[in-house]
Chain A
Amino acid sequence: MRSRAALVSAVGLTALMIFSLVVRAQNAPPARPGGTAPQAQGGSSKVADLTGDWAPDQKRGGIGQSLSLSDIGGRRRGQEDDIPYQPWAQKKTISEKSSTGPDQGFAQTTDPQVLYCEPPGVPHIYLWPIKTKLVQTPEAVYILHELGPYFRVVWLNSKHPEDPDPQWWGHSIGWYENDNTLVVDTIGFNDKTWLDQVGHPHTEQLHLTERYRRVDKTTMELDMTIDDPGAYTKPWNARRNFTLSTTGFLRYQQICSVRENQRFFDNLAKPAIAK
């Protein structure tokens, strides 16, 4: 069974890479001069080795509820000291109904991912109890998620389109720094996702910078800068911590099926909320 799963994974990954090459040929701008080798910056020519399956570090914050570094549990939604809201964004955050966390509303949630089975986007996906795999090639880094399963393509040696179409996962380019860090620069988001589980909003002006840094053999840190002049008065920071997992990637496909959800609701939720 494991070998069959591995075969499926290998076939899927190959298809993904072929697909992304086709997409690149159709949509991506020309590569920068300098060939196809990963381009390191910051005074180093070494490519950070981020290979592996990365699970949320339960000893260092876990998945949390909020991106706020001062309120990971999401208990002070809208009142966090480290989130420089514009007034409308603060008001909107307070008005949202989470599906999880200390003030969750089971049937009243306004989380678009929950309501419509939409992609969580990034960084929201890092608040899910799932693993992430990074696959590094000379041309791109493929970030694979167990949820969905969704994936992102981070184009190396490339640049953003002049006028990217707003999309769920935006348009990502990347480069290496300081021997141990992959920097991912993403623009071109739509405004349909929440940044986290408690409803921090963003606009199409969101510019997300992610720095994936391998601290040691089994530890990876992700520092993020959320720069969205449409929703916040200045850039602010967030962090996720990961540990290396060796239990296997995507052993079961965590797919959102309306039919399966309906069956679960009928069997286990509906009886429990009946008056």
Chain B
Amino acid sequence: MNSHRKRHLGILVAVAIGFLVAIPVRAHHGAAGLYDMSKPVMMKGTITKFEWTNPHNQIYFDVKDDKGTVAHWIVATEPPQVMLERGWTRRSLKEGDQVTVYAFVAANGSPVGNLQRIVLPDGKELSAR
């Protein structure tokens, strides 16, 4: 690995680690920067994967528009240690669940965001906050 690539990787890692710290504490003070926190966006979709992991849980789901085009979304929550306190478990979501997602999404239009809350197939609502 040449020095330029090493430096590039170092920056990526540093930023990633920065996010690890930033999100848990932000939750108490309002997120800023990456996502538009002014209002959540509502989406109906199908869960494709739920990763229960540090530094943040990741929820993968597909959203189909009127023309049948599928967008692959990923939204994050706080890490497992925090979400356990909020009543979640690693089995809270499973592949194939039809859900309604409310998330603060990227301002640049990328299909990524931060979960506010999610409504499960049985109508039960799980808050991420």
Contact = CB atoms under 8 A, between A and B. Distances in A.
A113 B27 CA distance: 19
A272 B85 contact: no
Contacts of B24: 128-129
Contact of B18 (A106, A128, A197, A274): A106
B21 A260 contact: no
A210 interface: no
Interface stretch (B40-48, B63-71, B105-113, B118-126): B105-113
A167 to B, nearest CB: 22
Interface string B15-31: 11111111011111100
A267 interface: yes
B49 to A, nearest CB: 11
Contact of B54 (A111, A255, A270): A255
Contact of B79 (A107, A114, A252): A252
Contacts of A114: 14, 17-18, 20-22
Chain A's interface size range is 35 or more
A273 B107 CA distance: 9
Interface in A52-102: 58, 62-63, 65, 73, 99-102
A212 B21 CA distance: 26
A63 B28 contact: yes
Interface in A145-190: 146
Nearest to A265: B16
Contacts of B29: 65, 73, 100-102
Interface in A235-262: 247-248, 250-258, 260-262
Interface string B52-89: 01111010000000000000001110011110110000
A127 interface: yes
B15 A256 contact: no
Contacts of A267: 58, 74, 112
B28 A129 contact: yes
A155 B17 CA distance: 33
Given A106-B22, A114-B21, A264 B16 contact: yes
Q: Of B28, B33, B74, which is in contact with the most chain A CB atoms at under 10 Å from its CB?
A: B28
B30 to A, nearest CB: 9
A262 B82 contact: no
A272 B15 contact: no
A117 interface: yes
Nearest to A111: B21
A252 B88 CA distance: 12
A248 to B, nearest CB: 8
A217 interface: no
A273 B34 contact: yes
Given A100-B25, A260-B55, A106 B33 contact: yes
A45 interface: no
B17 A117 contact: yes
A107 B17 CA distance: 10
B82 A129 contact: yes
Contact of A256 (B17, B25, B106): B17
Interface of A: 58, 62-63, 65, 73, 99-102, 104, 106-107, 109, 111, 113-117, 127-130, 146, 197, 247-248, 250-258, 260-262, 264-265, 267-275
18 contacts: A58-B28, A62-B28, A65-B29, A99-B25, A100-B21, A104-B32, A114-B17, A128-B24, A197-B25, A247-B84, A251-B81, A251-B84, A252-B80, A254-B54, A261-B16, A268-B75, A272-B106, A274-B110
